[in-house]
Structure 1
Amino acid sequence: MSRADTILELVKTSYSTPPSFEDPSYYGVPENYKEIKTLRDLLEINYKYNPTKNQLRENLIARIRNNDNPFVGIIGFDDTVIPAIKRGLLAGHDILLVGHIGQGKTRLAELVSEKLLSPIPIVDGTMTNDIPTEMPYTHLVDLINGKDIEKKAPEFFVSKDCEVLIKNNGLDTRIKWVDGKQRYRYVLATPDISVKDLVGQIDVVKIIKKGIELYDIDSYSPGYLLQARYGILCLDELPVLDPRKQVTLLSVLQEGRFTTGAYPVFFKPDVKIIATANPMDYTHSGKIIEPLADRLKSHIETHYPNTVEDETLILLQEMDMLSRRPDSTFLPIFILETITKIFQKIRNHPDINSDRGVSVRSTIHSLEAVIGEVESRRSLLNNAVTIPRFSDLQCIFQSSKFELDEIEDTSENRIEFLNNVIREVMQETSLHFFNGFFKSPELVAIRNDFKGKSFTILQNQYQRHNLNLLEGSESNTKSSSLLYTTQLMQFPLVTKVVKRIVEEIKRKQLDFTELAKQYGIKNNLEYIEIKKEFENLSEIDNPGIRDAEELWASATELLLEYLRFTSPPILEKREDTFESSNSNI
């Protein structure tokens, strides 16, 4: 048998015979797929490409049967959005996600692609994910034998680059497996996106460099649709595209193919579209043309987290801690919950423009800003562990993105509005934390502990402490007395209470850490876990003064805020000084 006959027999057998493998991990892919490295290897296992919608369906079915959640990291959608996504994928639908900014819509699209698409074998070095076995077998035989192919149908199978690679390398052509993450293409719809951006265009540079004819397929540069070939195209803010550009997507959704320019060729990208839209644009007549909206078969509404717990888990998972060492930063859960409550209250407030929404990103960015505030104010200059407290929260205006609706949306009004919300949430957080914590006689005793005394809250007391490093100087003595641990020595009963609060903080940290692990969260856990340095911080004169000072200070501010919100209040706050209230208790 001649070499040409051997090649013909290998290709014909591969095309006509079922795959010679089982697919235990991904649908339609052998378990040892990474060992398939050449075109010969691919033909010998009789590989068959499965359409994108089938991959999504079958891989999701396998996940469901194995009780394996492909949407780990998506929090708060378990009973609403996730079931709808699953229904849509099992039905083979293209999907439109409708929701405000910062609701995780594009993250959902990423996870669908990353977790539910099978790896596919492409010819290494091709831009359009060219799977060699997707061309007619006669074409592949001719290319392996080094011949040009005769194209009788005006259909695009593989790029010119792919053809050249196979002609030059034959059965030794290198195969690369690309996973779902690599086949995800994100496009933010903007007014300047053109039809050519979507379907591709004639590349003048290619024409000049290669000396090819204007209408030769070799002069074609792929657009977004073909760049996402065999994968998922996420069109973010679809209504921004004008109707003429939206029409371009219709043939892909209805017929699975498109044409471009004057080429006598049609392309079959086998791409699944997941689009997103803002609710206001979605409901506005004409923002999404009716035929396109009809062909996006599943319309799924997303939402902001419904509970403080859900949004706090998202906050922990998504915050960017940059290069901070875990042993240098400790984040009390009550601070994370306070920041979460601030933005949930803003989001649901009647004075806020609800059409715009208040993104969860504001919650995340505000925590990051608070950590930066602690570093700039205290921890970096004084080699202290970074632990936020209530007095650090005033910095979050720079990361709070919201728009006033009922009152004039000025900077001054937004600052006043935000400060009022911060005060309200600090009250709610402290009252919730101490619910059932005290018995009435203890509060009376604490009130007596404060008689004739005051407690000064100072965000940057370390900096004041270092104004004069001459030991024993009057300035140094005065500023040193403003350290929280030093002030607490004047309040024996309050000190005992703060010690109990520190222990309660540790307990809550452990509980929340376990909860985060149940949700599969791995990011940033080390920043909420109890540090070894904190295990023995039971006394305020502990030698680890820097760590003791910061943890005790955060607990002390929490207690002081509570004491001014009891009924009647035990303490009054005058500027940054807490002192005994005139009310009886």
Structure 2
Amino acid sequence: MSDARPTTLGELRASGHVYRGVKDEIRHNLISALRSDSNPWEGIQGFDDTVIPQLERALLAGHDVVLLGERGQGKTRLIRTLVNLLDEWTPVIDGAELGEHPYHPITPASIRRARELGDDLPVAWRHRSERYSEKLATPDTSVGDLVGDVDPIKVAEGRSLGDPETIHFGLIPRAHRGIVAVNELPDLAERIQVAMLNVMEERDIQVRGYTLRLPLDVLLLASANPEDYTNRGRIITPLKDRFGAEIRTHYPIDLDDEVAVIDQEADIVATVPAYLTEVLARFTRGLRESSSVDQRSGVSARFAIAAQETVAAAALHRAVLGGEDLPVARVVDLDTVIEVLRGKVEFEAGEEGREIAVLTHLLRRATAEAAREHLGGLDLGPLVAALEQSGPVVTGDEVTAKELLEELPEVTALAAVYERLDAQSDGERAAAAEFALEGLYLARRIGKESDSSGQTVYG
């Protein structure tokens, strides 16, 4: 921020600064972004043709918004990107409890200061990152947390209970001239939701029988799970009516978007080849389509992200034990996903005891689909014939890339696999070869046996 910014109300007026409400500010900046063809939704994948256009229309209309969607669909991530549509810096009354605009003080204390100081009213500048507030709606959330309560310390100082300056403001008033998000809104007790009614519509707050008229300038956003919305909890009808827009989110529709989410969000400690990431994306999508899985709960994008991180961790574990410098994930590492992450998937009641079988079947199907996609058209017959002549190939959790490559037969078919999968290093070639072997097994062209020690034999 430039040091030349106005520091008093008089200087601010002389600079020609124009006041805009939060919703007008967001509308103005969104229009500018649309006209310049820039993307204010950085990091949001798979919503370009569905959710984003609906949200943009809601913001242009100046509506408060509730996003409905199953867990792990990126609702909170989307809400947080709205900060990018605020002005980078905005003037506030220096020292004001609610960060009011110098042109429009709203609390009794700020109104008194503005009247007494006139053009000498001090002005500070607030960055847009400070104008976003977020609250996870938990059952123990109180009215005081969201709206406010009487501050006993101020009362003890000698002020009367009727004095508006005895109020300690809650989250929503403190988000004045900003964005406030309430995640999992149905989890709020209904009596707490009632306290938000006046804040959203009449723009006043009521604390212990005392009504304080505050023309709050906030954009209120909320997220909710549709299942919670109708069963475990609900948004009360009067509050739902006050949201101008209700937008449904969804999981990525296209496989490429699913992969993009994994690549963007996963914090991995080893190289994971693109075709293995695709296997995990296909696996996640298969879970979302399976009749064995409780689709009301959904299969979060966090499942695929955690799966990618788990596979990379398995590769690092093998590299540490085997003394490898550059760990690369292989097909053998995919099994760790089932072992570690099965608790993240909710199954239908009738599937009790079959969870591992369901996950294993879907993972194999995802691997077979990816193998057909990436290795289709290659003649792997010579590799099958070489395995018949030279004997089986042993891989496993602790078999290093170098050890695996030494066991492989020397055939041109493998060179074609390496070229197709852009495998350059030993680790990448071992991963590519193992992917080809797994593809042949799933196509029932070779056999495969695994034991409890983590060894897998192809032959």
Residue of structure 1 in register with 2:107 after alignment:
157
Residue of structure 1 in register with 2:146 after alignment:
198
Shift of 1:368: 1.1
Report the more deviating stretch, 99-108 or 261-270. Answer: 261-270
Q: TM-score, normalised by structure 1?
A: 0.71
CA distance, structure 2, for counterparts of residue 165 and residue 176 of structure 1:
17
**What pairs up with 1:125-524 in 2 under 5 angstroms?**
125-135=95-105, 156-157=106-107, 159=109, 171=120, 173-179=122-128, 181-208=129-156, 210-263=157-210, 265-284=212-231, 287-321=234-268, 329-379=270-320, 382-397=323-338, 398-400=340-342, 401-409=344-352, 412-438=353-379, 443=381, 445-452=382-389, 453-462=391-400, 483-488=403-408, 491-493=409-411, 496-506=412-422
Cα pair distance change 1:285/1:316, threshold 3 Å: closer
Unaligned ranges ≥5, structure 1:
1-31, 136-155, 463-479, 507-533, 538-546, 580-585
CA deviations 1:316-367 (Å, max 9, x no partner) are: 111124xx5xxxx422100111111111111110011111111001111111
Unaligned ranges ≥5, structure 2:
451-455
CA deviations 1:94-133 (Å, max 9, x no partner) are: 1111100111111111112333456321234444223222
Shift of 1:159: 4.8
Q: 2:447 aligns with which of 572, 578, 583?
A: 572
CA distance, structure 1, for counterparts of residue 357 and residue 26 of structure 2:
49
Q: 1:85 aligns with which of 55, 79, 94?
A: 55
CA distance, structure 2, for counterparts of residue 38 and residue 387 of structure 1:
56
* Cα pair 2:147 2:196 within 8 Å, conserved: no
Q: Percent identity?
A: 30
Shift of 1:174: 5.0
Shift of 1:56: 1.5
* Cα pair 2:94 2:124 within 8 Å, conserved: yes
Cα pair distance change 1:253/1:168, threshold 3 Å: closer
CA distance, structure 2, for counterparts of residue 237 and residue 51 of structure 1:
27
Cα pair distance change 1:284/1:448, threshold 3 Å: closer
Residue of structure 2 in register with 1:38 after alignment:
7
CA distance, structure 2, for counterparts of residue 281 and residue 239 of structure 1:
6
1:271 partner amino acid? V
- 1:255 match: secondary structure: coil
2:4 partner amino acid? E
CA deviations 1:251-298 (Å, max 9, x no partner) are: 222223323224452222211111111112334598222222122111
- 2:103 match: secondary structure: helix
Cα pair distance change 1:358/1:42, threshold 3 Å: same
Q: CA RMSD in A?
A: 2.7
Structure label with greater radius of gyration:
1
CA distance, structure 1, for counterparts of residue 151 and residue 75 of structure 2:
34
Report the more deviating stretch, 235-244 or 283-292. Answer: 283-292
CA distance, structure 1, for counterparts of residue 211 and residue 388 of structure 2:
91
**Structure 1 residue 563 corresponds to structure 2 residue 440:** yes
Shift of 1:383: 4.0
Shift of 1:554: 0.5
Cα pair distance change 1:373/1:163, threshold 3 Å: farther
- 1:492 match: secondary structure: coil
Cα pair distance change 1:159/1:73, threshold 3 Å: farther
Report the more deviating stretch, 297-306 or 195-204. Answer: 195-204
Shift of 1:206: 4.2
Cα pair distance change 1:71/1:35, threshold 3 Å: same
CA distance, structure 1, for counterparts of residue 229 and residue 3 of structure 2:
43
CA distance, structure 2, for counterparts of residue 206 and residue 408 of structure 1:
59
